Amino acid sequence: MVQTSSDSSLSVPLGDLDHLKILQRSFVITYMDKCCNNFMFVCKKFYVSSVFFELNYLVGAYVVSNLAQSDILSSHLSFNKAHNFKGVKCGPRFPFLCVVWKFHKNPIKLRFICAANFISLTDVSKWPCSFFKAMFPTVNDLWVSKLKKPDVPCDNSWILNDSTGVVEVINNLNHSRSEIDKASPLLLQSFDFSTLYTNIDRVDLKAHMRVLINKVFNWMLKIHRFKFLMVQKIA
């Protein structure tokens, strides 16, 4: 493990780059999870075996394609043109699977990341993010309206962008408790996912997204008389 400076302006001497290339013959250089300034040198054979184990262990998470890379890229290009993404140049490559190590866990665990930058569907992947951001204010309104029936005070949904909003949500919930309830301590629990995206059934996910989108548009039509949601193609 090597700790580096956070100064991105520092340059690496050519001699050091030559030594790094020699190390890369036997090692893969990656970083530590939650500590991206700490780089790791992992045995290349062990790294590759970890990737293959991930690909074969989670049944249904990854699908083998018999198509050639050029055929897949061609289908992506056709999709982009068919859905009016044709004005943006996309990179002629695919995402790649990389591994980082969770040294803050006991025992130590691995995090698999599907890394992507300037790939064939980059702009397509950006559009759903813009779409759901545009829907979020209406989702908040729906959430608040649902909690009015059980008389739970709430100004916004419990969907937060960061941890700073947790205190406000807890305070709002505490205000809804009676004086008798406040006499007894309220235990707070938090939960996390070990493998989230690889365990989600895609058919089930799309079905729930369809239900949410229908609810949002029905709400907008009822309250604001809106029938359309304008979302910019490029994020």
pLDDT digits (tens, 9 = 90+) for 126-165: 888 888 888 888 888 888 888 777 766 677 777 887 888 8
Give the pLDDT mean for 107-113. 87
Answer for the pair 123, 85: CB distance below 8 angstroms, yes or no: yes
For residue 2, pLDDT beyond 60: no
Answer for the pair 40, 101: CB distance below 8 angstroms, yes or no: yes
Give the pLDDT mean for 161-189. 78
pLDDT at 235: 43
Task: Report residue 195's pLDDT band, with 50, 70 and 90 as the boundaries.
Answer: low
pLDDT at 27: 93
Q: Which of 51-60, 77-86, 93-102, 223-232 has the lowest mean pLDDT?
A: 223-232
User: Which tens digit of pLDDT belongs to each residue from 12-37?
Assistant: 677 778 888 888 899 999 888 888 88
Task: Report residue 3's pLDDT band, with 50, 70 and 90 as the boundaries.
Answer: low
For residue 200, pLDDT beyond 50: yes
Angle at 28 between CA 22 and CA 31, to 5 degrees: 125
The count of residues in the chain is 235
pTM more than 0.75: no
How far apart are the C-alpha atoms of 195 and 59, rounded to whole Å? 13
Task: Report residue 86's pLDDT band, with 50, 70 and 90 as the boundaries.
Answer: low
**Closest among 154, 192, 189, 148 to 171, alpha carbons compared:** 154
Task: Report residue 87's pLDDT band, with 50, 70 and 90 as the boundaries.
Answer: very low
How far apart are the C-alpha atoms of 173 and 96, rounded to whole Å? 43
